[in-house]
C-alpha cells in the first residue's frame, strides 16, 4: 500500500503543488481543493502546526543595542557634513528580541523547507511593488497557531465536502483550520 497519493503528477510538480497549498492554507485559514489533494495537504499542515505547538515557548528574550539611522519627518535619513563629506547620523537603540533555542531554530528551518515566501499586496496599490511586505508565516505559526492549538491533541484541520466539480466531477472540499 502506498504511503502517499501521487495526484497524477511527477514528484517535483507534486511537491510544489503541496507546498503552495499548505502555504495558502496557513496564510488564509481555508482553501477549496479536491478531496485527494486535501488529504495530502492535511498531513503536512498538521505536522507543521504540531511542531509550532511543541516549540511555541522555546525561546529566550535578549536585550541588544542597535545603530539606527535618524530620520526626518518625511522618513528620509538625516545627513550632516563632517570633514567635507555628507554622513548619515545614527542613534543607538536598545531592543528586546526573541532568540530561538536550538530545537526551535531547527523547527523553524523545517517549516521554511515546506513553506513558500508570501508577499502581501495592499488593495490600493495592486500591481505595484511599493507598499508590499513579506509575511513571516513561521512567526505566525509560532505566535498565533501555537498558543491557539496548545490544548488540542492533533486534528488541527477539517475537511468539509461541497460536492462534485462541474468540469470533471472530482469531489471538491473545503480544507480549513479548526
Report d(CA 117, CA 129) in Å as an integer. 15
Whether the Cβ atoms of residue 67 and residue 112 lie closer than 8 Å to each other? no
Asked if the 11-58+101-177 domain carries CATH number 3.30.413.10, the reply is: no
pLDDT band, residue 100 (cuts 50/70/90): very high
Task: Return the domain boundaries, the chain.
Answer: 11-58+101-177, 59-100
User: Is 125 a residue whose pLDDT tops 70?
Assistant: no
Q: What is the pLDDT of residues 39-60, one digit of tens each?
A: 999 999 999 999 999 999 999 9
How many residues in the chain? Answer: 178
Mean pLDDT score of the chain, rounded to an integer?
93
- Residue 132's pLDDT is 84
Q: 97 near 62, Cβ under 8 Å? A: yes
User: What is the sign, positive or negative, of the torsion defined by CA atoms of 113, 114, 116, 118?
Assistant: negative
Amino acid at each position: 500500500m502506498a504511503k502517499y497519493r501521487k495526484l497524477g503528477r511527477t514528484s517535483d510538480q507534486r511537491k510544489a503543488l503541496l507546498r503552495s497549498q499548505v502555504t495558502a492554507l496557513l496564510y488564509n485559514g481555508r482553501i477549496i481543493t479536491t478531496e485527494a489533494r486535501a488529504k495530502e495537504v492535511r498531513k503536512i499542515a498538521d505536522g507543521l502546526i504540531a511542531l509550532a505547538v511543541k516549540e511555541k515557548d522555546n525561546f529566550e528574550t535578549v536585550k541588544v543595542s542597535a545603530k539606527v539611522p535618524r530620520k526626518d519627518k518625511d522618513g528620509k535619513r538625516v545627513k550632516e557634513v563632517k570633514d567635507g563629506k555628507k554622513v548619515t547620523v545614527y542613534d543607538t537603540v536598545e531592543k528586546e528580541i526573541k532568540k530561538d533555542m536550538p530545537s526551535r531554530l531547527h523547527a523553524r528551518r523545517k517549516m521554511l523547507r515546506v513553506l513558500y515566501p508570501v508577499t502581501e499586496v495592499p488593495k490600493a496599490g495592486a500591481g505595484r511593488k511599493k507598499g508590499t511586505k513579506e509575511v513571516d508565516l513561521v512567526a505566525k505559526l509560532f505566535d498565533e497557531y501555537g498558543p491557539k492549538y496548545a490544548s488540542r491533541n492533533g486534528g488541527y484541520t477539517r475537511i468539509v465536502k461541497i460536492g462534485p466539480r462541474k468540469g470533471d466531477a472530482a469531489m471538491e472540499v473545503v480544507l480549513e483550520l479548526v
